[in-house]
Amino acid sequence: MNLRDSPGEAAFRAQVRAWLADNLPAETGPEWSRKMFDAGFAGLTWPEEYGGRGAPYSHQAIALEEFASAGAPNHMNVIALGMAGPTIMAHGNEEQKQRYLSKMLSAEEIWCQGFSEPDAGSDLSAVRTRIEPRDDHFLVNGQKVWSSIAHHADFCILVGRSDPESQRHAGLTYVIVDMHAPGVEVSPLRQITGEAEFNEIFFTDVEVPRENLLGEIGGGWQVAMTTLLHERGTLGFALTGTLDAQVNKLIALTKERAADDPIIRDRVAQEWIELQALKLTNYRSLTTLIKTGIPGPEGSGSKLHWSEQNQRLTKLAMEILGGEDDGYWGYQQQRSRGNTIEAGTSEILRNIIAERVLGLPRSR
Ligand SMILES: Cc1cc2nc3c(=O)[nH]c(=O)nc-3n(C[C@H](O)[C@H](O)[C@H](O)COP(=O)(O)OP(=O)(O)OC[C@H]3O[C@@H](n4cnc5c(N)ncnc54)[C@H](O)[C@@H]3O)c2cc1C
Query: In order along the chain (364 residues), what is the average pLDDT of each group of 10 residues?
Result: 84 96 84 94 95 92 88 92 96 98 97 97 96 97 98 98 92 98 98 93 98 97 93 74 91 97 98 94 83 79 93 97 91 95 94 91 80
Considering the candidates 231, 271, 274, 298, report the single residue annotated as catalytic: 231
- What value does the CA radius of gyration of the chain take, rounded to a whole number of Å? 21
Q: Which of 189, 193, 192 is nearest to 149 (CA)?
A: 189
Contacts of 202 (CB under 8 A, 6+ apart): 143, 184, 185, 186, 187
Pocket test for ligand 1, best of 122, 125, 147, 201 (most atoms within 8 A of CB): 122
C-alpha of residue 181 to centroid of ligand 1, in Å: 27
What domains are there in the chain, each with its CATH number? 7-105 (1.10.540.10), 111-219 (2.40.110.10), 234-357 (1.20.140.10)
pLDDT at 364: 66
Q: Determine the distance separating the centroid of ligand 1 and the alpha carbon of 344, expressed in angstroms.
A: 6
Instruction: Please give the Cα distance from 43 to 152 (Å, whole number).
Output: 20
Report the pLDDT value the prediction gives residue 75, as an integer from 0 to 100.
92
Q: Is 231 assigned a catalytic role?
A: yes
Q: Work out the burial of residue 190: count CB atoms within 10 Å of its CB; fewer than 13 is exposed, 13-18 middle, 19 or more buried.
A: exposed
- Three-state SS string over the chain comes to CCCCCCHHHHHHHHHHHHHHHHHCCCCCCHHHHHHHHHCCCCCCCCCHHHCCCCCCHHHHHHHHHHHHHCCCCCCCCHHHHHHHHHHHHHHCCHHHHHHHHHHHHCCCCCEEEECCECCECCCHHHCCCEEEECCCEEEEEEEEEEEECHHHCCEEEEEEECCCCCCCCCCEEEEEEECCCCCEEEEEECCCCCCCCEEEEEEEEEEEEHHHEECCCCEHHHHHHHHHHHHHHCHHHHHHHHHHHHHHHHHHHHHHHCCCCHHHHHHHHHHHHHHHHHHHHHHHHHHHHHHHCCCCCHHHHHHHHHHHHHHHHHHHHHHHCCCCCCCCHHHHHHHHHHHHCCCCCHHHHHHHHHHHHCCCCCCC
Among 232, 342, 349, the mutation site with the greatest number of ligand 1 atoms within 8 A of its Cβ is 342
Give the integer Cα–Cα distance in Å for 48 and 183.
Answer: 36
